[in-house]
Chains A and B, each alone.
Chain A
Amino acid sequence: MLAAARVVLKQHRFEVGAAAIAALAVGVWALLVGLQVRMLGVPPGCIEAWLASGTDEQTECLGLLRTWSGIVETPVIGVMVYIPFATGLLGSVPIVARELESRTAQRAWSLNPSRRRWLFRQLAPVMVILGASLTFAALATSLLEADRVIVGYSPVDDLGLYGPLIVARAFGAFGVGLLVGALLGRTLPAFVLGVALTVALTFVVSSVREEWVKRLEPAVVSEMSAGGGTILVPHAVITAIAFRTPDGQQISIEDARAIAHTAGAAQPAPDDEQDLPAAVWLERHGYAELDLGVTMEMALGWAPYDALAFVIVGVASIAGTIPMVNRRRPT
């Protein structure tokens, strides 16, 4: 079993090596950023207390807050947009595609009593190595995200770029790469198609997420009036805009615009989506603009669904690869 794993890893050494190194490098990078933050020696609660005070007072904590923000404003989290997908695709695309491309599939499959067992033997060592590398990256980025949240970054904006969701996304991409590789039987075309499919999958999941957030019960998260803006719920996700009448009633943006136009505000130009005449009228007549949205905790409730979506795609794709390997001609 171990000897077989060694052969598999040697066969795909470039792809597995590159993917594992990329995941490990990002993990180490995240840990180094965290270490840099620790070396600042910020007293516990210093930054949180300064932020909670809501003042502009120039204190030592403000200086530390700026330095901390500068350190955690690293591209590590941004890079995690690509790493799980690149890792998953690089690891899985060549597993079947390379055998077909180099015309060794016939020999490899005839040497094994069942093609399914052959596939399992190929998958297991690659998945173990990449899974371990990505788990390390997931843990390291979780620690970094905790440091980012302290200085005001929203974990909702970074959802999917830290923690266990990274592994789920990589698993989804792994399945897609395996299936496309088995289907096309050529590594480079399968990789390119795999990239296109994972981009499409991510787009679909993001769109579903937006719809899901909009269906949650919204609350007023910030208020804009002539006197200025007030944030009532920090880190909230805004889902709609409404207005508060001078009598204190909350009305929808459509109702507010209708009131403004009935009262004499000019009709907007065809390309004026913001309906500026109505907006100006409402502000002058004491209507306050409200941002409706959901709290950070509510928005973070999407995380299990995000993981589920990618895991389901991964499992379905791997399951789809099995009959394909079982049935296709080895050429």
Chain B
Amino acid sequence: MSRTLAAAARVVLKQYRFEVGAAVLAALAVGIWALVVEYRLDALDVPPGCIQDWLWRVDTGEDIAGCAGPMRTWGEILTGQGGIILEGEGMAPFSWMGVLPFAVGLLGGVPIVARELEAGTAQTAWSLNGLRTRWLLRQVMPVAILLGIAVAFAAFAVEAAVEADVAWGGYASFHIGDHGPLVLTRAVGAFGIGLLTGALLGRTLPAFVSGAVLAFALVFAVDMAHDAWLKRLEPTVIAEVSPLTGEIVDVPRTVTTGWGVRTPEGAMISFAEARVIVDAARVAAPDPNDEQDLTALGWLEEHGYTLLPLGVTDEMALGWAPYDALAFGLVGVASIGGAVVLVNRRRPT
């Protein structure tokens, strides 16, 4: 029985060798790259005391002379080679870890049903199996296992780079979805979308393009939900101008979620409430293109009001992680469920 299953798995993997091979290679390449970054950072042997909160200490002008030399190289490796994995920039706004789970999931999920339909072999394949659900399971399992292992390797290999980034002053909440188990849930979401669009369209390339668009839309929707969730957390003032020195004093490791206004009497009001006061003083409404409402800001500053950024701590922002996993995991499971129904009911042409 197990020998039959292994033989069937080999056939499946041979059938999708290009897509599965490309996806596995991509995941392994990112994982190995992350391990090289970790090795190079470790090889510098920078004392942990130098690394800890480096970015904040540089800002506050703390005596860091002894650490400056080694930290320059350490930072160059982290932001240069490590930055490619974790942060997008300029014309390439997506980081490798931002793209990897979706690329792997779609490459693995799309051709499983779509290729059989496109090549006109679905009728034969389905008629040779007692149940189409069983056929689908046999096709999905080897691909999902292989890709799961490859993505898990990349997801856990990148952990050290994320830890290093957080240690020297970065935000852990900015890396939600870039490392650890959340990468796997994102890959599951994309795999499900790919499987469903493939079964629906019956053509690999259109299904891949549609799947990419849907995955992008899903990421956008989850980001919107994330922003809305952050705004519902209880905010605190995260930066103020010191009345003694005039310097801006930041609260370390906080995420901006909005803006508040402190009245000359010391009360905190929202920007919308401040705008009502500005309107009452007959100040012109903002230009439609002036998103910052510069006229109101100017009036408030002149009249002793202070604009203050509000936000939440990095730990509070990290509370989004389970919802992120839930969103992508649910989409993945629902899409795979939809694909099962579709495969059972559609004509094999």
| B345 at interface by CB-CB < 8 Å | no
Contacting pair B119 A103 (CB below 8 A): yes
Q: Nearest chain-A residue to B90 (Cβ)?
A: A78
Which of B107, B119, B290 is within 8 Å of A192, CB to CB? Answer: B107
Q: How many positions in chain A have a CB within 8 Å of any CB in the partner chain?
A: 28
Could you tell me the distance between the alpha carbons of A36 and B287 in the complex, rounded to whole angstroms? Answer: 13
User: Do A103 and B120 touch (CB < 8 A)?
Assistant: yes
Q: Which one of A183-191, A212-220, A232-240, A241-249 contacts B?
A: A183-191
Instruction: Provide the residues of chain A in CB contact with B18, threshold 8 Å.
Output: 184, 186, 188-189, 192
Majority secondary structure, B binding face:
helix
Q: Kindly provide the distance from the CB of B77 to the nearest chain A CB, expressed in whole angstroms.
A: 10
Selected from B70, B120, B204, the residue in CB contact (under 8 A) with A187 is: B204
B118 touching A102, Cβ below 8 Å: yes
**Across the interface, do B287 and A67 meet the contact criterion of CB distance under 8 Å?**
yes
Chain B min CB distance to A110 (Å): 18
Give bound CA distance, A247 to B61, whole Å.
37
Decide if B203 is an interface residue (CB 8 Å cutoff). yes
> Which residues of chain B from 151 to 184 have a CB within 8 Å of any chain A CB?
none
Residues in chain A near residue B290, CB distance under 8 A:
67, 70
Summed over the interface, the residue pairs from A and B with CB atoms below 8 Å come to a total of 68
A94-108 residues with Cβ-Cβ distance < 8 A to B are 94, 98, 101-103
Give bound CA distance, A70 to B292, whole Å: 11
Considering the chains assembled together, what is the distance between the CA atoms of A98 and B93 in angstroms? 32
What is the number of residues of chain B that contact chain A, defined by CB distance less than 8 Å?
A: 28
Closest Cβ of chain B: how far from A194's Cβ, in Å? 11
0/1 interface trace, chain A 17-51, chain B, CB 8 Å (1 if under) = 01000000000000000001000100000000000
Contact flag A188-B208 (CB < 8 Å), given A14-B203, A70-B291: yes
- C-beta contact mask, B119-162 vs A, less than 8 Å → 1, else 0? 11000000000000000000000000000000000000000000
Please state if A272 and B118 are interface contacts (CB–CB under 8 Å). Answer: no
Say yes or no: is B22 at the interface (Cβ < 8 Å to chain A). Answer: yes
CB-defined contacts of A18 to chain B, threshold 8 Å:
206, 209
Contacts known (A67-B290, A70-B289); A191 close to B208, Cβ less than 8 A: yes
**Contact indicator B72/A189 (Cβ below 8 Å):** no
Within 8 A of B (CB), among A75-95: 78, 81, 90, 93-94
Question: In the complex, what residues of B have CB within 8 A of residue A269's CB?
Answer: 69
- Could you say which of A36, A81, A189 contacts B19, with CB atoms under 8 Å apart? A189
A94 to B203, CA, bound (A): 11
Q: How far is the CA of A275 from the CA of B293 in the complex (A)?
A: 45
- Chain B CB within 8 A of A56 CB: no
Q: Across the interface, do A187 and B72 meet the contact criterion of CB distance under 8 Å?
A: no
Contact, CB under 8 Å: B289 / A67: yes
Which residues of A have CB within 8 Å of B72? 271-272
A15 on interface, CB distance cutoff 8 Å:
yes
Q: Is the CB of A192 within 8 A of B91?
A: no
Residue pair B205, A93 in contact (C-beta under 8 Å): yes
A188 to B110, CA, bound (A): 9
Instruction: Map CB proximity to A onto B6-48 as digits: 1 under 8 Å, 0 otherwise.
Output: 0000000000001100100000000000000000000000000
Q: Are B205 and A94 in contact (CB under 8 A)?
A: yes
Q: Which residues in A have their C-beta under 8 angstroms from that of B120?
A: 102-103
A71 and B18 CA atoms in complex are apart in Å by 44
Chain B residue with Cβ nearest A82:
B91
Shortest distance in angstroms between A47's beta carbon and chain B's nearest beta carbon? 14
Interface members, chain B 71-87 (any A CB < 8 Å): 72-73
For the complex, give the distance between the alpha carbons of A70 and B290 in Å.
Answer: 8
- The CA of A101 and the CA of B291, in the complex, are separated in Å by 52
Among candidates A78, A98, A271, residue contacting B69 with C-beta atoms closer than 8 Å: A271
CB within 8 Å of A: which of B315-342? none
> What's the least CB distance linking A193 to chain B, in Å?
8
In the complex formed, the residue of A with least CB distance to B72 is A271
List B contacts of A272 (CB < 8 A): 69, 72
In the assembled complex, the Cα of A184 lies from the Cα of B22 at a distance in Å of 14
Closest-CB distance, A114 to chain B (whole angstroms): 27
Structural contact, B91 and A78, CB atoms closer than 8 A: yes
Instruction: Decide: A188 near B205, CB < 8 A? Known: A70-B291, A271-B72.
Output: yes
- B311 interface residue (CB < 8 Å to A): no
**Chain B positions within 8 Å of A101 at CB level:** 118-119, 204
Contact mask A195-216 → B, CB, 8 Å, 1/0? 0000000000000000000000
Subset of 27 A-B contacts with CB under 8 Å: A14-B203, A14-B205, A14-B209, A15-B206, A67-B289, A67-B290, A70-B290, A78-B91, A81-B91, A90-B205, A93-B205, A98-B205, A101-B204, A102-B119, A103-B120, A184-B18, A186-B18, A188-B107, A189-B18, A189-B22, A191-B208, A192-B18, A192-B19, A192-B107, A269-B69, A271-B69, A272-B69
- Which A residues are closer than 8 A to B by beta carbons? 14-15, 18, 36, 40, 66-67, 70-71, 78, 81, 90, 93-94, 98, 101-103, 184, 186-189, 191-192, 269, 271-272
Closest 10 pairs (CB-CB, A-B): A189-B18, A14-B206, A188-B204, A187-B205, A271-B73, A67-B289, A81-B91, A269-B69, A187-B204, A188-B205
